[in-house]
């Protein structure tokens, strides 16, 4: 079977991409609007980009609007807030936080904070205004390095590249320069409503 990406519908391409590129790490991104509303939302189009300079990237898509026959999408709260003030925190989701993470993905109004809806703890960041999630064992405080916009239609992607200013690591997971992934116990996104853990792993030595 050959799929012509130029002719496939956005929904078909979305399902193909999500069913092929996996498992995907989850960026739980906290932002703050200029009116002081604390937003929190998960994104599975997420990865590390560079160690020098330290850069992380995630890709929020535009969402459809209610107006009939509109062919333009609008930014979700996370993207809009980053465009407004250029600051955000990427929190890493542990398995124990899966229910709160899932709840924060709901389509809440812009004047509602997902921190309140999920009963998560706001913790003041050190170098940016958005709060970090107190229950997360790893949080990256970031400022916007570059924003790439790929279209104006609903489902069009936007690549947010963030400069990492500092990292918060829980003392229980960090020792001798290494993160204990067993104690971090992160989850990853599969396709549809499926997620996975890192408990089934194997090791291979790289060739010299």
pLDDT digits (tens, 9 = 90+) for 106-119: 999 999 999 999 99
Asked if residue 38 lies in contact with residue 123, where contact means CB atoms within 8 angstroms, the answer is no
Which ranges of the chain does DSSP label H, i.e. alpha helix? 10-20, 77-85, 98-104, 114-118, 181-184
Identify whether 89 is part of a domain. yes
Question: Model pTM greater than 0.75?
Answer: yes
Q: Which residue has the tokens 């408990």?
A: 199
Identify the domain containing residue 107 by its residue range.
Answer: 10-171+179-196
For position 10, what pLDDT does the model report?
Answer: 83
Please work out, in degrees rounded to the nearest 5, the angle formed at the alpha carbon of residue 148 by the alpha carbons of 105 and 101.
Answer: 15
Identify whether 202 is part of a domain. no
Mean pLDDT by 10 residues, the chain (208 residues): 90 90 96 97 97 97 76 92 98 98 94 96 98 98 97 92 98 95 96 93 90
Identify whether 205 is part of a domain. no
| 60 DSSP 8-state letter | P
The domain total for the chain is 1
Instruction: List the CATH number of the domain containing 63.
Output: 2.30.110.10
């Amino acid at each position: 079977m050959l799929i012509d990406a130029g002719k496939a519908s956005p929904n078909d391409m979305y399902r193909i991409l999500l069913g092929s590129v996996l498992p995907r790490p989850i960026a739980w991104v906290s932002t703050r609007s200029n009116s002081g509303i604390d937003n929190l939302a998960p994104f599975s189009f997420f990865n590390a980009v560079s160690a020098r300079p330290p850069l992380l990237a995630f890709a929020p898509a535009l969402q459809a609007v209610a107006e009939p026959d509109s062919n333009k999408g609008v930014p979700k709260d996370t993207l809009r807030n980053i465009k407004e003030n250029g600051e955000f925190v990427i929190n890493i989701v542990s398995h124990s936080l899966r229910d709160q993470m899932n709840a924060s993905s709901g389509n809440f109004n812009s004047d509602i904070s997902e921190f309140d809806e999920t009963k998560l703890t706001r913790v003041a960041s050190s170098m940016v205004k958005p709060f970090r999630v107190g229950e997360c064992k790893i949080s990256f405080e970031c400022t916007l390095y570059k924003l790439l916009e790929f279209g104006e239609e609903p489902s069009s992607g936007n690549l947010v590249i963030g400069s990492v200013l500092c990292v918060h690591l829980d003392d229980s997971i960090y020792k001798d320069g290494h993160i204990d992934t067993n104690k971090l116990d992160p989850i990853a996104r599969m396709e549809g409503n499926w997620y996975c853990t890192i408990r089934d792993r194997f090791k291979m030595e790289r060739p010299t």
